[in-house]
Structure 1
Amino acid sequence: MASCDVDGYKELSQKIKDKLGLEKSPVAVKLVLKEEDIPEGIPKIDETIRHCEMVQKAAQGATFYATVAEQKCKGGASAIGLMEAPEKVKTGEMYHSLKRFSSLGSAKRTMDAIPKIDPIMRAIAYAPLETTPFDPDVVVIIANPKQAMEMAQAMVYTLGGRVEADFAGIQSLCADAVAGPYTRKRPNITLGCSGSRGYADIKPDEVIVGMNGENIGCFVNALDAL
């Protein structure tokens, strides 16, 4: 945020919500490398749920952090750097057994292509953007297609180019919306996955946008200018 003239995350979040007409808050996500870097005063979540459910909780106002022990979906936890992927996830065997792929080879090729963060993180912190007590590494927004279109227009407003949506219908809020923007330093739009729609109540008319936190101020300036 330092490279752009914005007056803090509260105002920034309000501009996003007002401009787009969002019903839920943008979610600030911080990847915590060491235990001592867990933002002070943030409680640990007191239940074991999936990363996508944690994003949804933060979008509705909750602030907390989670270690791998609180992450129910180990595939998601591995995508965001909290652990090594379970062998059956890594090889694609799990998704093949769920009949998501016609062959083990197609499942493995897909898993090889999914963005992942090196498994070195100690925790993940989540908060609504307007009240975040930390600088986010990634900002995740749950939106409808029209709102996502307007975000895409803001993404190309300054430098031009194209927005490339990269997804496969699996590991959406973890790999697509967090790991991808974090590792590739560019935004991504994803259509959700069976897990996030089944467990995290992502609606049929909602999509997910993930953006690198360092660029969020410039994005809001562009959104404001349109």
Structure 2
Amino acid sequence: MPRDLAQAARELHDHLSLASPPLAIAFTQEVPDDVPRFDAPFAEPAADGRTGRVSAGCVFWMHAAERTFATLPEDHGNCSVGSYTHGLISLEEAASRDDTKALLDCGWVDQESVQGVPAVRHKPAAIVYGPLKDAPVPPDVVFLRVTGKQAMILKDALPHLLSEGKPQCHIVAIAREQQQPALSVGCMVSRVRTGMPSSEMTVAIPAAKLDETLDALAAAQQADRAVAQYAADDKRRFQAG
């Protein structure tokens, strides 16, 4: 029997000792009436017209640890790459904007890598973020902020876990569209805009695979405990005297 979301959130926390709560991300084809809108003011537009309620869509991950809210496409508009990966604008539109050009001009990415960035296929009417434990709509993606040790545990449990780099946000598209769990070591743009600690990475898990992920984590945790006990016992030989 599938776990409810509150139980799944508890198990994720217990298996991984998470410092930040698991998040639910849902791409909806209608704006939900019963979910509060993210209502921070829009910033002054940049020279190319970009603006949004936050500097990049990844910033919503930080707010979502505290509350549930719905965002509209324009709320994400300041970050063109993030707007593309979340299916909100086309690749052509993203490539034409000044922020993408700045990334290309400084050599942070090249045209070939931009062309290969995964993206959500169909434009959503809204994207809902919030803690997994009380998600008001069924999530598409479960999102985690993890340490190196927690990433190790996830990799043990999920040998097929993809390891990705920049841009950090594209793991959400991988989880939703490819139904594949993915880890990102992060990207400098996201780390600066979110203020995410240097010790953290991110993981996106397809919500449809949450139960099997939890089962795999439980098995991996049991094996890790046995190995940890063996390693601790063996280490004592080097601490004698």
- Same topology, TM > 0.5: yes
Name which structure has the greater RCO, CA cutoff 8 Å, separation 6+: 1
Aligned counterpart, 1:41: 34
* Match among 179, 189, 196 for residue 173 of structure 2: 179
Aligned counterpart, 1:190: 184
Aligned counterpart, 1:81: 87
Aligned counterpart, 1:166: 164
Q: Deviations over 1:31-88 (max 9, x none)?
A: 112x2xx344111100201211101111x22100111111131220121011224233
Identity of aligned residues (%): 23
Q: Which letter maps to 1:165? A: S
Unaligned stretches of 5+ in structure 2? Answer: 41-52, 221-241
SS at 1:182 equivalent:
helix
Aligned counterpart, 1:97: 105
Structure 2: how far apart are the matches of 1:203 and 1:152? 21
Aligned counterpart, 2:215: 221
Unaligned stretches of 5+ in structure 1? Answer: 102-106, 157-161
Cα distance, 1:163 vs structure 2: 2.8
Structure 2: how far apart are the matches of 1:192 and 1:142? 10
Q: Which letter maps to 2:10? A: Q
Q: Which letter maps to 2:34? A: G
Q: Which letter maps to 1:68? A: P
Note if contact 1:67-1:82 (Cα within 8 Å) is conserved in structure 2: no
Note if contact 1:65-1:126 (Cα within 8 Å) is conserved in structure 2: yes
* Match among 106, 113, 125 for residue 110 of structure 1: 113
Tell me, yes or no, if structure 1 residue 52 matches structure 2 residue 58.
yes
Tell me, yes or no, if structure 1 residue 65 matches structure 2 residue 70.
yes
SS at 1:18 equivalent:
helix
Shift of the 205–40 alpha-carbon distance from structure 1 to 2, 3 Å rule, reads same
Structure 2: how far apart are the matches of 1:134 and 1:154? 27
Alignment RMSD (CA, Å): 2.0
How many residues align? The count is 204
* Match among 6, 25, 38 for residue 10 of structure 1: 6
Structure 1: how far apart are the matches of 2:97 and 2:202? 23
SS at 2:90 equivalent:
coil
Structure 2: how far apart are the matches of 1:179 and 1:192? 15
Aligned counterpart, 1:104: none
Which structure is larger by alpha-carbon Rg, 1 or 2? 2
Structure 2: how far apart are the matches of 1:95 and 1:7? 42
Cα distance, 1:119 vs structure 2: 4.8
**Runs of 4+ displaced beyond 6 Å:** none
Q: Deviations over 1:103-150 (max 9, x none)?
A: xxxx11000111012352211110111111121111110000110111
Q: Which letter maps to 2:188? A: S
Cα distance, 1:89 vs structure 2: 5.8
1:193-204 aligned within 5 A: 193-204=187-198
TM-score (norm 2): 0.78
Q: Which letter maps to 2:184? A: T
SS at 2:176 equivalent:
helix
* Match among 137, 140, 157 for residue 143 of structure 2: 140
Aligned counterpart, 1:159: none
Structure 2: how far apart are the matches of 1:109 and 1:87? 12
SS at 1:14 equivalent:
helix
Aligned counterpart, 2:128: 125
